[in-house]
Amino acid sequence: MNGNNVKSAGIIVIGDEILKGRTRDTNSHFFCKRLFDHGISVHRISVIPDCIDTIAAEVKKFSNDFDLVFTCGGVGTTHDDMTFEGIAKAFNDSVHLNSEMSEVLRNYFKLPKDDKTSPAMKLAMVPKTSELLWGTHRRTGSRSIFPIVRLRNVHVFPGIPQLCEKAFDQIE
């Protein structure tokens, strides 16, 4: 951590698609600009693959080294989305089906009440000790559709740039 009043931050971009050059990372640029505007100094950006052990190691290191950590990517419904598992492992936690999040997903995707096997329900498998941060839409004042998951000083954002930016704007 830094020795002055300026908060330090680290950004972890998660995704094989970034490392293989299939997708351009615009999220780190967005985070750097917005955090700088808030007086938060970004000290490091890391781009890592979709690998639970790599995610866990990087999150643990960043969490120890910086006041705030922002991850983007690896949160979704596909087999390679493993950010929640990696973050849980970093803090000796485990993932569980969060009832609040599963209700939101059931309503949003119009899933049956007892459906726990839909790929969408993977988004509800969050670290047990995490909390859900609900944002507020600036114009309407309504609650965000989906929350940001926070575990200690680690804030988990989606990787799709439009969703990442919208989520940041709503919890800013």
CATH number at residue 138: 3.40.980.10
Q: Is residue 23 part of a domain?
A: yes
Rounded distance between C-alpha atoms, residue 119 and residue 164, angstroms:
20
| Token output for 87 | 């973050």
Mean pLDDT of 123-147: 92
Neighbour tally for 99: CB within 10 Å? 9
The tally of domains found in the chain comes to 1
| Between 78 and 47, the higher pLDDT residue | 47
Mean pLDDT of 94-119: 89
The confidence band for 76, taking pLDDT boundaries of 50, 70 and 90, is confident
pLDDT of residue 4: 60
Q: Is residue 146 part of a domain?
A: yes
The confidence band for 149, taking pLDDT boundaries of 50, 70 and 90, is very high
Residue indicated by tokens 């990372």: 25
pLDDT digits 0-9 by tens, 4-62: 677 999 999 999 999 999 999 999 999 999 999 999 999 999 999 999 999 999 999 99
Question: What amino acid occupies position 62?
Answer: F
Mean pLDDT of 65-75: 97
Q: Is residue 148 part of a domain?
A: yes
Q: Is residue 111 part of a domain?
A: no
The confidence band for 1, taking pLDDT boundaries of 50, 70 and 90, is very low
pLDDT of residue 147: 94
Q: Is residue 77 part of a domain?
A: yes
Q: Is residue 100 part of a domain?
A: no
Rounded distance between C-alpha atoms, residue 14 and residue 110, angstroms:
29
- Residue 91 sits in which domain range? 7-95+126-171
Rounded distance between C-alpha atoms, residue 73 and residue 158, angstroms:
5
pLDDT of residue 71: 98
